[in-house]
Amino acid sequence: METFGVRLHRAVRERGPLCVGIDPHASLLERWGLADDLDGLTRFTGTVVEALADRVAVFKPQSAFYERFGSRGVAVLESTIRQLREAGALVLLDVKRGDIGSTVAAYAAAYLDPASPLHVDAITASPYLGVGALAPMFDTAAAHGGGVFVLALTSNPEGRDVQHARTADGQTVAQTVIDAISQLNRGAEPLGSFGLVVGATIGDTGHDLSGVGGPLLAPGLGAQGATAADLRTVFGTALPSVLPTYSREVLGAGPTAPGLRAATDRVLAECRAALGVAAE
């Protein structure tokens, strides 16, 4: 069984360092000329899959935008996950789950166990009930070749109050999260399966990201204000581990497949240049 880190490393090498978020919120559906209903959701997602599934290394569907349509929306999400993976893409489901005990174990089973209809390659998780509380999630991921991206330094201004708070030993809360994930990745080659979420809009983090050993997901690029060039400031020497993420910058180029592909090619070229990664 290959680890998620191995599969991610290969996917980025073959398709390029890019994650495309799939966020079918109401304003974007309207921009595409679609109704904010189940049919609009289905048509929107289907167009993205048809246009990009065989071209992009990683997709990040935002679960909430499917859940808001109830069980039928979740069924669209299940189908989307299956189609993306059949096209050779990795799926990172943006769910930001975090809990304790049997509940976090159930979340892990829902998303990281191959027996689940919502099985994906990796998920996002919140560590603010304690990183250790996520252990069942890490264990399930490791058992089935999955990955977990843990929130560390996020772009939203409200996050700073918690993430930059100091613990009794003087470290920031964010640094304790960074250190815990670094330990999980010890010895993993060429890339660990446990990553961090670090916003591309936050500038110099003041934190050491160089020894994480796993992928660093960088949302906030494009419509949220950050550019690919900002990645150098945010990540410094950890730049080779960065997985840049664009959502509206790509999706806003729809509803045509050529428009989506052109936007994807443009942002991918910008990411390659910023990260110093040549096309193979």
Which carries the bigger pLDDT value, residue 121 or residue 1?
121
Provide the mean pLDDT of the chain.
Answer: 96
- C-alpha to C-alpha distance for 187 and 52, rounded to whole angstroms: 34
| Non-local CB neighbours of 218 within 8 Å, separated by 6+ positions | 198, 199, 200, 226, 231, 234, 235, 242, 243, 244, 245
C-alpha R_g of the chain: 18
Distance between CA atoms of 132 and 22, rounded to whole angstroms?
30
Reported confidence tier of residue 278, pLDDT bands at 50, 70, 90: confident
CA distance readout (Å), 70 to 15, 23, 67, 157, 169: 33, 16, 5, 30, 45
Q: Which residues carry out catalysis?
A: 96
30-68 per-position pLDDT tens digit: 999 999 999 999 999 999 999 999 999 999 999 999 999
Residue 255: asked if its preceding bond is cis (omega within 30°), the reply is yes
Calculated CA dihedral for residues 243, 249, 253, 258, nearest 10 degrees: -20
Q: Is the pLDDT of residue 16 over 90?
A: yes
Q: What is the pLDDT of residues 103-159, one digit of tens each?
A: 999 999 999 999 999 999 999 999 999 999 999 999 999 999 999 999 999 988 899
pLDDT attached to residue 25: 95
pTM recorded for the entire structure: 0.96
Residue 224 has pLDDT above 90, yes or no: no
* pLDDT band at residue 208 using 50, 70 and 90 as cut-offs: confident
- Say if residue 236's pLDDT is above 70: yes
State how far the Cα of 46 lies from the Cα of 66, in Å rounded to an integer. Answer: 13
Query: Three-class SS of residue 46?
Result: helix
What letter represents residue 279's amino acid? A
Q: Span 210-231, mean pLDDT? A: 93
Q: What is the 3-state secondary structure (H, E, C) of 114-182?
A: CCCCCCCCEEEECCCCCHHHHHHHHHHHHHHCCEEEEEEECCCCCHHHHHCCECCCCCEHHHHHHHHHH
pLDDT at residue 170, rounded to an integer? 92
Q: What per-residue confidence (pLDDT) applies to 180?
A: 97
- The whole-number pLDDT of residue 280 equals 65
Angle at 110 between CA 219 and CA 71, to 5 degrees: 90
Walk me through the domains of the chain, giving residue ranges and CATH numbers. Answer: 4-164+186-200+213-275 (3.20.20.70)
Place of tokens 């990411």: 271
